[in-house]
Structure 1
């Protein structure tokens, strides 16, 4: 049976079970550079098994509403942060794990200036910049061994825009 979900705005509180929303919000934790720069300190739960942290650049094709999701994936050996270089918003589809299978899908829409850090082992859809091609710096685990599990959805999941999305 076809499943549809509605995307909601990306907020730190709603996204917390799946990862972190990194953004400039409120007052900085401290001022640096002779008071000319605010530091918002330690905003993501980075977590890597063996290997090391690395930064790659992804160039992803634009996606549109409704978003068809037929594949989700997870990375059991490390967290994964998506940092928009081009300013593109993105649709972020996540799910909780139940005995090795994704369940209870949720979708969020980022705003310019928001970075998403997915916790280690979080089921998520593929990178989906909304309405325009997007380039992203991606901070994730670099190392030997398998760090990708994929799960095909049949029938696919459809994500529709909600209020504020």
Structure 2
């Protein structure tokens, strides 16, 4: 059997491993939505419920309104090639997992289209949601292991609110070590 010739014009993908999702590490890209000891919280409903208050800055942008949807994500297999990114220039977009399973979050700073070296990859626990700030570049939903449902809070309204780009270089997300 003949081997395929190597193509010199196709660079080796950049390999990355997801880092733990923490509020501090994710701050440049938005909010981590989770019941944590470091957020404002107080008892409600006669002391039967603890309210973890104001966890994300939902931004529907001018002339928009917040909507709630459910996204059902098919599982992805690692290693996974990241070849594209998207952003929502008119409003934020929050994802809150309903299936209790970990998932991946791939982000890059708002602004010009990102290069491969601008990407950060986070491994979110099944009890952590995220809120992408307006204009932050991110990869679409990356469920792992099984089909997962997410409550999604984002913007509806006038104007084009989804830009997509193809990366100049593939980024390959490796399984955790």
**TM-score between the two structures when normalised by the length of structure 1:** 0.92
Query: Secondary structure at 2:16's aligned position in 1?
Result: strand
Alignment of 1:44-59 (within 5 A): 44-49=56-61, 50-59=63-72
Count of aligned positions: 162
1:128 correspondence with 2:142: yes
Aligned to 2:106: 93
Aligned to 2:28: 17
**TM-score between the two structures when normalised by the length of structure 2:** 0.86
Query: Secondary structure at 1:14's aligned position in 2?
Result: helix
1:78 correspondence with 2:91: yes
1:124-158 per-residue CA deviation (whole Å, 9 max, x = no partner) reads: 01100111111111000011210000011243211
Q: Is the 8 A contact 1:89 1:111 kept in 2?
A: yes
- Unaligned 5+ segments in structure 2 are 1-10
Q: How far apart, in 1, do the equivalents of 2:142 and 2:19 lie?
A: 15
Q: Is the 8 A contact 1:5 1:105 kept in 2?
A: no
Structure 1 runs (4+) deviating above 6 angstroms are none
Larger radius of gyration: 2
Q: How far apart, in 2, do the equivalents of 1:25 and 1:155 lie?
A: 37
Q: How far apart, in 1, do the equivalents of 2:110 and 2:54 lie?
A: 26
Aligned to 2:7: none
Aligned to 2:4: none
CA RMSD of aligned residues (A): 1.5
- Unaligned 5+ segments in structure 1 are none
